[in-house]
Amino acid sequence: MFAGGPTDLASSTLRACQQRLAATEAQLLSYAQDLRVLYQVERAHREQIEQAYHSTLVALSRALDLRDTETEEHSLRVTDCALTIGRTLGLAPADLTALELGAMLHDVGKIGIPDSILRKPGPLSAQEWGVMRRHPQLGYEILSAVDFLASSLPVVLHHHEKWDGTGYPDGLSGEAIPLAARIFAVADAFDAMTASRPYKSALPPEIAFERLRADAGRHFDPRVVSAFLEAVGHPAAPPASAALGRS
């Protein structure tokens, strides 16, 4: 029997429970600290892997640009432009990342295009143009085995589709074209117009803006064109009827 009375027994039992509880709390706190350290290490490791992937893709995009000497640095410029449009449209961070990677790798399929076509100084024949038009599908096939690029594949496959359905490879039209591909198409067209090539001079930005406005609703998503023009400080002009109404 317990030497003291009932009160002493209760007090002793309570103290023992409190001691066990304190020990359990200390152990749980230690576990929590260990988990926090492990999480921080894992997060840092994941960020290092993501940075390594990103650096590798940047290097690959530059290598692709160097192969086609007429478009050196094109991928970096058009990626920056596409991201500017995406942010203006309010894309989520994950969608911006997918857009960025797709833009950097949009022409990876040109790896499969012979130099005799890719670097031809003059116009392509109908047969050569048919070969060149295969590069979006080739790029899609090359990258489809890379799981972390799955959300970027629509840009690679559909960046030559047009709003009115006259593009390639699938002749998609309107909102059937993935939004990221519609964004990229505007950025790509602007860069093509404002960059110098051996066979043409660069257009002034103002003329390129006007051409994008003219092709909105035909080649390009009007909403995307408006977002681009807003981002660069050249908002779309009001409709003629509205302008007349204010005169």
Instruction: Express as a percent the part of the chain with pLDDT over 70.
Output: 79
Q: What is the pLDDT of residue 45?
A: 62
Q: What is the pLDDT of residue 188?
A: 96
- pLDDT band at 50; cut points 50, 70, 90: low
Q: What is the pLDDT of residue 160?
A: 98
Which residue carries 């152990």 as its tokens? Answer: 27
Superfamily of domain 68-236: Hypothetical protein af1432 (1.10.3210.10)
Give DSSP secondary structure letters for the chain.
--SS-HHHHHHHHHHHHHHHHHHHHHHHHHHHHHHHHHHHHHHHHHHHHHHHHHHHHHHHHHHHHHHSGGGTTHHHHHHHHHHHHHHHTT--HHHHHHHHHHHHTTTGGGGGS-HHHHT-SSPPPHHHHHHHTTHHHHHHHHHTT-GGGGGGHHHHHHTT--TTS--SSS---GGGS-HHHHHHHHHHHHHHHHS-BTTBPPPPHHHHHHHHHHHBTTTB-HHHHHHHHHHTT-PPPPPHHHHHHT-
Residue 218 has pLDDT above 70, yes or no: yes
- pLDDT (tens digit, 9 = 90+) per residue, 139-183? 999 999 888 899 999 999 999 999 999 999 999 999 999 999 999
Q: By the 8 A CB rule, do 112 and 134 touch?
A: yes
Stretch 178-189: mean pLDDT: 98
Q: What is the pLDDT of residue 46?
A: 65
- pLDDT (tens digit, 9 = 90+) per residue, 7-24? 676 777 778 888 888 888
Mean pLDDT is lowest, of 3-12, 85-94, 131-140, for 3-12
Segments making up each domain of the chain, as ranges: 1-51, 68-236
Give the residue with greater pLDDT, 58 vs 158.
Answer: 158
- pLDDT band at 236; cut points 50, 70, 90: low
Residue 54 has pLDDT above 70, yes or no: no
How remote is the C-alpha of 63 from its chain's centroid?
Answer: 19
Q: What is the pLDDT of residue 72?
A: 58
Stretch 66-80: mean pLDDT: 75
- pLDDT band at 4; cut points 50, 70, 90: low
Q: What is the pLDDT of residue 31?
A: 75
Q: What is the pTM of this model?
A: 0.73
Residue 239 has pLDDT above 50, yes or no: no
Q: By the 8 A CB rule, do 102 and 184 touch?
A: yes
